[in-house]
Structure 1
Amino acid sequence: MKKEIKEPEQCISSRAVAMWRMSRMIGHVIALLILAALIGMDMAFHWWNWIGWVLYGLVGLTVLSGIYSIGVEPAILQSTWRYDVSEEYIQLKHGALTHVHVLVPMTKVEYVTTNQGPIMRKYGLYNIQIGTMASSHHIPAVPESEALALREQIARLAQVKDGE
């Protein structure tokens, strides 16, 4: 008799959208400032004409990239991310265009860690990193209390499975 594995139901935090938007906005602003400095240098030092065109093209691509990666993508990522932890598996499911569904057997888990950068700290979120001998997986943007409890649960279940 085959036991069916039900779909993961746990969602990542809705604050992930604002956190991803903030971090991506910082990256795009830095890129635009660098491009603005290069355009200023092009005007001051009269570089070849094609360099100015390339720089303006890069500005346009950066703006288009910003519209998608700041305005659209974070909401899609948050709405498609699902995870679940059971005694047998850790399930990770995400993706809008390319659907990814990963089952990590609890017997293969070697370590589990949490990490948090300064922007994630502002929103009270953690990433959970799960490592096996062959690969590493992560669950992004989990609220602090849930992330710490989940880390302990995975570590305990992996230890129990390892000890059997």
Structure 2
Amino acid sequence: MTGMIKEPTQQISPKAVKMWRISDAITYFIALCILLILLYLQQYYGWKSWIGLILYVLLILLIISSIVEIVIVPIYRQRTWRYEVDEKYIQLKYGGVLKKTHLIIPMTKVLYVNTNQGPLLRKFDLSTIKIGTMASVHEIPAVPEKKAAELREKIAVLAGISESNE
């Protein structure tokens, strides 16, 4: 019997909480604007009353959802996300109350690895690492930019990915 695989211990950056909050706030603000425009149009054009009722229910659900998604979820997500990279495996462990995921990706299955940044990630000096296998693409979100570049190189070397393979 071989040795047990130890639990992942590396955490994503605490800056991720603020970045996710801003991202979610932008998304919910846009959704709120769309709902308010629809409510205005419903009043202005005198649409059926049941349409207004549905829009108000959606507005209430949107407000409740936005509070949970902006205030609670980013903290929980950052505290529960773990990853580990060693010579044989890449481990990703994350999840919530309903569903927990613990992926173990053998280095021999890694086809490519890259980092990327959107405007918000760049503002917080963070990157997302994408690890491609034959079956899918896995992500490690919100890793400090310098550490992400080092990790990308480490995974590429351990997986035997060279410039000529790309």
The TM-score, its normalising length taken from structure 1, stands at: 0.95
Deviation at 1:96, TM superposition (A): 2.7
Match of 1:118 in 2: 119
AA aligned opposite 2:29: V
Aligned residues: 160
SS of corresponding position for 2:8: coil
Among the aligned pairs, what percent are the same residue? Answer: 52
Question: What is aligned with 2:14?
Answer: 14
Where do residues 135-154 of structure 1 align in structure 2 (5 Å cutoff)? 135-154=136-155
RMSD over aligned Cα, in angstroms?
0.9
Contiguous gaps of at least 5 residues in structure 1: none
1:32-55, CA deviations, whole angstroms, 9 ceiling, x for partnerless residues? 001111111111111111111111
Aligned: 1:66 with 2:66? yes
Q: How many Å separate the matches in 1 of 2:40 and 2:155?
A: 53
Deviations 1:39-88 (A, max 9, x none): 11111111111111111111101001101110110001000000010000
Q: Provide the rounded CA distance (Å) in 1 between the counterparts of 2:112 and 2:133.
A: 7
Segments of structure 2 that go 5 or more residues without pairing to the other structure are 162-166
Query: Residues of 1 paired with 2:134 and 2:47: CA distance?
Result: 52
Q: Return the letter of the residue paired with 1:35.
A: L
For normalisation by structure 2, the TM-score amounts to 0.94
AA partner of residue 36 (structure 2): A
Deviates more, 1:44-53 or 1:91-100: 91-100
